[in-house]
Copies of this chain bind each other. A is one copy, B any other.
Amino acid sequence: MARTTSTAEQPVTTGLVVAGDRPSDVVAFENQMVDFFVAAATLLGVPKSVAAIYGIVFASPTPLSFGDIEQRLNLSKGSVSQGLRVLREVGALKEVSGESDRTALFEPDLQMRKLVQRFIEQRLEKQLTAGRGRLEALDRSVPGSASEAAIVKHRLKSLADWNNKARALLPVVRTILKLGA
């Protein structure tokens, strides 16, 4: 429905889910689920379509096929294909071969530890280590007179300290996230 009567009601969700003929409580739930992941993904720089796909699969008690996803979200085949590839690659979705089905079915992989670890290692650890290297190189190439150089070197030292703190944090993060499941 959306926009009944005259004065346009603000949609509660972003309305990414297509109703079709399914019950409105189901659609409402799907929409909220999708929005939840879209919000989280935006924070991490993941495309909306990818998050939406994960959300719609997550919201369904039964595995969904390519076609199901294409229909329920308002997405092109291309986007669904690419989105599913990404989600499989990172291990967010798994393919459950529907016995003798010809079409693949997908459900969320709840063992997100892999996912989180991957994120920490690739995005954070890599960046921090690279940063350290670059800071060392910068420190060696500070131009200017001795007194000028001292000022800038002091600043670089301060950056290096932060880099160290952040790197010291990673093992702690890993440990905590490992606890209980």
Residues of chain A whose beta carbon lies under 8 Å from any beta carbon of chain B? 23, 25-26, 28-29, 32-33, 36, 39-40, 43, 45, 58-62, 108, 110, 112, 116, 123, 127, 130-131, 134-135, 137-138, 141-144, 147-149, 151-152, 155, 158, 161-162, 165, 168-169, 172-173, 176-177, 179-181
Contact = CB atoms under 8 A, between A and B. Distances in A.
Nearest to A36: B134
B162 A172 contact: no
Main secondary structure of the interface of A (DSSP, over half): helix
B127 A43 contact: yes
A40 B130 CA distance: 10
Contacts of A169: 172-173, 176-177
Given A61-B148, A134-B36, A141 B176 contact: no
Contacts of A173: 169
B29 A143 contact: yes
Q: How many copies of this chain are found per oligomer? A: 2
Given A110-B158, A138-B32, A176 B168 contact: yes
A177 B167 CA distance: 11
Given A26-B143, A173-B169, A59 B179 contact: no
A28 B138 CA distance: 10
A161 B168 CA distance: 24
A131 B40 contact: yes
A127 B42 CA distance: 11
Nearest to A28: B141
A176 B172 contact: yes
B152 A177 contact: no
A84 B29 CA distance: 43
